[in-house]
Amino acid sequence: MIGKWWKKRTLEKIQISDEQWQAAEAQLFCLDHLGAEDRRRLREMAREFLAEKQWTGAQGLPLTAPMQLSIALQACLPVLNLGLEHYRGWVGIVVYPGDFVIPRQTTDADGIVHEYDDQVLGEAWEGGPVLLSWFDDPDDAGGVNMVIHEFAHKLDMENGEVDGIPKLPEDISRRDWIAAFEPAYEDFCRKVDEADRRGEETLLDPYGSEHPSEFFAVMSEAFFETPEVLHDEYPAVYELLRRYYRQNTLPRDSEGPLRAFSAP
Ligand SMILES: [Zn+2]
Average pLDDT over residues 241-254: 86
Average pLDDT over residues 13-25: 90
Amino acid type, 45: M
Most distant CA atoms of the chain, gap in Å? 62
pTM for the structure as a whole: 0.87
Residue 14 CA to ligand 1 centre (angstroms): 31
| Residue 80 confidence (pLDDT) | 98
How much is the mean pLDDT over the chain?
A: 88
| Residue 264 confidence (pLDDT) | 39
- pLDDT tens digits, one per residue of 154-197: 999 999 889 999 999 999 999 999 999 999 999 999 999 999 99
Residue 170 CA to ligand 1 centre (angstroms): 26
Average pLDDT over residues 77-103: 91
pLDDT bracket for residue 218 (50, 70, 90): very high
Question: Would the pLDDT of 252 be above 70?
Answer: no
Give the dihedral sign, CA 139/220/72/123. Answer: negative
Contact criterion met (CB below 8 Å) for 37 and 83: no
Residue 120 CA to ligand 1 centre (angstroms): 9
| Residue 6 confidence (pLDDT) | 59
Contact criterion met (CB below 8 Å) for 93 and 54: yes
Residue 168 CA to ligand 1 centre (angstroms): 20
| Residue 253 confidence (pLDDT) | 53
| Residue 4 confidence (pLDDT) | 59
Average pLDDT over residues 59-70: 92
| Residue 190 confidence (pLDDT) | 98
| Residue 9 confidence (pLDDT) | 64
pLDDT bracket for residue 116 (50, 70, 90): confident
Rounded to 5 degrees, φ, ψ at 170 are: -60, -30
Q: Please state, in angstroms and rounded to a whole number, the distance separating the CA atoms of residues 142 and 46.
A: 25
| Residue 255 confidence (pLDDT) | 41
Residue 123 CA to ligand 1 centre (angstroms): 7
Q: What percent of the chain has pLDDT over 90?
A: 69
| Residue 8 confidence (pLDDT) | 62
Residue 32 CA to ligand 1 centre (angstroms): 24
Rounded to 5 degrees, φ, ψ at 17 are: -80, 160
Residue 154 CA to ligand 1 centre (angstroms): 10
Question: Would the pLDDT of 262 be above 90?
Answer: no
pLDDT bracket for residue 259 (50, 70, 90): very low
pLDDT bracket for residue 13 (50, 70, 90): confident
User: Among 22-36, 52-66, 196-210, 243-257, which stretch is predicted with the lowest mean pLDDT?
Assistant: 243-257
Residues 6+ apart with CB under 8 A from 25: 31, 39, 73
- Say which residue, 171 or 104, is predicted with more confidence: 171
Q: Best-predicted range by mean pLDDT among 1-10, 111-120, 201-210?
A: 201-210
